[in-house]
Chain A
Amino acid sequence: MKRGLFIALALVLFLALVPGVFAQKVTVWCWDPNFNVYAMKQAADVYNKTHPNVQIDIVDMAQDIEAKVSAGLQAGGAGLPDIALFQDFRIEQFLHDYPDAFVDLKAAGVDYSKFAAYKVGPMQVGSKIYGIPFDTGSTGLWLRTDYLKAAGLNPDSYAGKNLKWSDVVKFGVTVKAKTGKPLLAWQSDNFDMLRIVVQSTGGQFFKPDGSLNLRSDAFKKSISLFKDLNDKGLLYSVVGWSDWINAINSDQSAGFLNAIWMVGTVKSRPQNAGKYMIIPTPLIEGVSGAANASNNGGSSWYVFSSSSNKAAAVDFLKSVWATSTPDTLAFYNTILKGAGAMGTFLPSQSGSNYTARDEFFYKSQPVFKDFATWMAKVPVLKYTPNYVPMRTAVANAVQNYFQGKLSSVDDTIAAAEAEYKQVMGE
């Protein structure tokens, strides 16, 4: 009996000592099957080549993710994964409210000089840096060339041009008149399109001291622009993210204003092939510092301190996402073509797909080259921890303005400020 026990014990010890016989599991929470899940899977494949016994489990949490993360953090880490994806505009609030919840990756040896500086900003608190930057949200104006043509316009005359919004409104009106399609799909309960325009002007939503900055010229001009678009019937209004996607992919509008990460969604519908053309984000006139470029979204990966597999998680992120090897560079190249996921890992930008033409788009436009060019011009936007209540308040006020419940831009701004103060308890 004793001998049997001894042998069993020895066997167990032997197995434990032999590196990696016991499979380790790293759980990752993210969203968007065509984009983030896909990218993570590619990364997992690369990692599994050298670490075959680390099982990387990717869970699509959709829009649940922030509620579940906050519930888990409130519960001291219960139910949380090892790695989670956070949108850049959201992370500051989490870092601020839960200072010990994330692993300091700078201390773990990640070289942040290899990442685009504007991505590192939101994830840095003092001397600690917490995340691995992922994708850029470089934006453009996406147009359906088939509807342009049907309206008697020549798409080539707009390709690559730095247009002003007034130009866009003009041809938008023509498209609406001739084809009945509104130019832009607009998610009325979401503030992102407005944000894109504001950011393109270099405007900020918050002053350096953290207080609201909604009375700026840039913001007022942006709201007026959308009111104008709405009044001219150029916005196809839907409620809810999924319905916005649905509207685009069921031909309800002649285009939309959003970021590079829509590539995966647009490509997921075969009928979109050859129809889409992307031009630089239009310019708001009369605001100094305005550019034909903006950013919407972009996320980064974070490791939770409560993770039971911290070492494996950190190593995975570091070695695949933050280190240059032929395999990792190939990985960044693949996800660019496959999902439009343009990473902000600077060494990866020499990949072939970054300059290649993409046959899915109108006249094989080299969309990634364009987005990368525009990305370099994006004015920086400071989020602050209070970004989310602000954007909800603004979205609500703008919705009311469009429905006629508020009568002017100033009233809209006042309403947004009022709601923000009440929700924040100031």
Chain B
Amino acid sequence: MTVARRWTPGRILMWLVLLGSAVASVFPFYWMLNGTTLNPNDVLRGILAPGGDFLSNWKLATTTYNLPLFFTNSLVIALGTVVFGVVINSMAAFGFEKYRSRARDRVFGILLLTLILPQIAVVIPMFKMFSFFKLLNTRLAIALPSVMSVFIIFFLRQNFKLFPTEIMEAARVDGASELAIFVRIVAPSMRASFASAAIYMFIAQWNAYLWPLITILNDAIKTLPIAMASVMQAYTIQYGALMVIVCVSTLPVLILFLTMQKQFVAGLLGSVK
């Protein structure tokens, strides 16, 4: 790279756009972190410099607002969804991709319809259904509907496409059962894709709002997004404590994403092709 680039107006504009976008994207995160150190009035007024109220905000968030409980709820539900989700969706993707048949393709087509189905349309009948079985206000209720995700199946299918069927054929010749082929041969080599799928499902469930909003009836089951929404409805909004909850809600996802960036992007690469 030896040619020196001149600073044309075009280049300046380009850098402005890029840097501007980056700053605008990151600023609210700084805001969120800084807000944990300010008292509620200062948070609203927009003070940029850190203040000294972090400990009192933290205390408020963890005692009055039961932050540890909400964090645990969110974690348990998200992990549960991921574990079951990866198993069910990967098997489905495997079945749809490696065992093509007209009937199954049609079934997949029907499943694809859920991608454009607005959530609000299913949420109310599901509410009635879960209340009939007395399963409202349980972690199971929050997690179950999200386990199957056509988006993930689609995504994993693209990745399974790249898996050479010859290896499967060779294993069949050796006398392995199909299940064994999946578990011992295919799955281990798809680890990266499964990891991407897991991350995606985790983040989606961690951030879920509408269904938990309807299902959660008291604090015992509350998840972080619902807790944040509740704090916003309080008589006097404790903005400092709210920022603490916002940070606790966002940072784990952020860290998860940062450490698994490569897998995430690699997975997207596969699905786009």
A-to-B contact residues, CB < 8 Å? 31-34, 59-60, 62-64, 68, 71-72, 74-76, 78-81, 241-242, 245-246, 250, 265
Across the interface, name the chain A residue whose C-beta is closest to B237: A242
What residues of chain B lie closer than 8 Å to A76, measured between beta carbons? 131
Contact B235 A79 (CB under 8 A): no
- Of A59, A71, A81, A242, the contact of B235 (CB 8 Å cutoff): A242
B127 in the interface, Cβ–Cβ < 8 Å?
yes
In Å, the complex CA distance between A75 and B130 comes to 9
Contact assessment for B235 and A78 in the assembled complex, using a CB-CB cutoff below 8 Å: no
Question: Could you jot down 27 A-B contacts, CB within 8 Å?
Answer: A32-B235, A33-B235, A59-B218, A62-B233, A62-B234, A63-B234, A68-B218, A71-B217, A72-B217, A74-B128, A75-B131, A75-B136, A75-B217, A78-B131, A78-B137, A78-B217, A79-B136, A79-B137, A79-B217, A81-B218, A242-B234, A242-B236, A245-B236, A246-B40, A246-B41, A246-B237, A250-B41
Q: Is B230 an interface residue (CB 8 A)?
A: yes
Residue pair A78, B136 in contact (C-beta under 8 Å):
yes
Contact of A68 among B44, B134, B217 (CB under 8 A): B217
Q: CA A179 – CA B146 in complex, angstroms?
A: 57
> B219 on the interface (CB 8 Å rule)?
yes
Contact B233 A63 (CB under 8 A): yes
- Among residues of B, the one whose C-beta sits closest to the C-beta of A268 is B236
- Nearest residue (CB) in B for A72 is B217
Q: Told that A63-B234, A78-B136, A78-B137 touch, could you supply 20 new A-B pairs with CB distance under 8 A?
A: A59-B218, A62-B230, A63-B235, A64-B230, A68-B218, A71-B127, A72-B217, A75-B127, A75-B136, A78-B131, A78-B217, A79-B136, A242-B232, A242-B236, A242-B237, A246-B41, A246-B236, A246-B237, A265-B235, A265-B236
Whether, in the assembled complex, B214 has its beta carbon less than 8 Å from a beta carbon of chain A, the answer is: yes
State which size class the interface on B falls in: 20 to 34
Provide the bound-state CA to CA distance between A79 and B219, in Å.
10
Partner of A59, one of B219, B232, B233, B237: B219
By a CB distance below 8 angstroms, the chain A residues around B214 are 71
Complex contact B217–A74 (CB within 8 A): no
Residues of B within 8 A of A80 (CB): 217
**Residues of A contacting B217 with CB < 8 Å?**
68, 71-72, 75, 78-80
Residues of chain A within 8 A (CB-CB) of B234 are: 60, 62-63, 242
Indicate if the CB atoms of B233 and A64 lie closer than 8 Å: yes
Contact A62 B235 (CB under 8 A): yes
Total CB contacts across the A-B interface at under 8 A? 58
Q: Output the least CB separation between A187 and chain B (Å).
A: 13
A75 to B219, CA, bound (A): 17
Contacts of B136 in A (CB 8 A): 75, 78-79
Q: Which residues of B contact A31 (CB under 8 A)?
A: 235
Contact of B134 among A32, A60, A78 (CB under 8 A): A78
Residues in B whose Cβ lies below 8 Å from that of A245: 235-236
Query: From residue A244, how far is it (CB to closest CB) to chain B in Å?
Result: 10
What is the chain B residue whose CB lies nearest that of A69?
B217
Contact indicator per residue, chain B 51-78, by CB within 8 Å of chain A (1) or not (0): 0000000000000000000000000000
Check if B235 sits within 8 Å of A241, measured CB to CB: yes
Of chain B, the residue at the smallest CB distance from A80 is: B217
Find chain A residues with CB under 8 A from B233 CB: 62-64
Q: Which residue of A lies closest to B65 (CB)?
A: A60
B39 CB to nearest A CB, Å:
12
Question: Whose C-beta in chain B lies nearest to the C-beta of A63?
Answer: B233
A79-B41 CB under 8 A given contacts A62-B234, A64-B230: no
Q: Which residue of A lies closest to B220 (CB)?
A: A79
With a cutoff of 8 Å between Cβ atoms, the chain B residues found around residue A75 in the complex are 127, 130-131, 136, 217
> What residues on B are CB-neighbors of A71 within 8 Å?
127, 214, 217
Across-interface contacts of B130 in A (CB, < 8 A): 75
**Distance, CA A33 to CA B218, complexed state (A):** 17
Say whether B44 contacts A246, CB under 8 Å: yes
Q: Note all chain B residues with C-beta closer than 8 A to A64.
A: 230, 233
Among all A-B residue pairs, the 9 with the closest Cβ atoms: A79-B217, A75-B131, A63-B233, A62-B234, A242-B237, A79-B137, A78-B136, A62-B233, A75-B136
Contacts of A63 in B (CB 8 A): 233-235
Provide the B231-273 mask, 1 if CB < 8 A to any CB of A, else 0.
0111111000000000000000000000000000000000000
CB B136 to nearest CB in A, in angstroms, measures 5
**Complex-state Cα separation, A245 to B44, whole angstroms:** 13
Q: Which residues of B lie under 8 Å from residue A246 when comparing CB positions?
A: 40-41, 44, 236-237
Shortest CB-to-CB span from B224 to chain A, Å, is 15
Whole-angstrom CA separation of A292 from B233 in the bound complex: 32
A78 to B219, CA, bound (A): 14
Q: CA of A71 to CA of B40 in the docked complex: distance in angstroms? A: 31
Q: Whole-angstrom distance between the alpha carbons of A246 and B127 in the complex? A: 36
Residues of A within 8 A of B230 (CB): 62, 64
- B131 (CB) vs chain A CBs: closest residue: A75
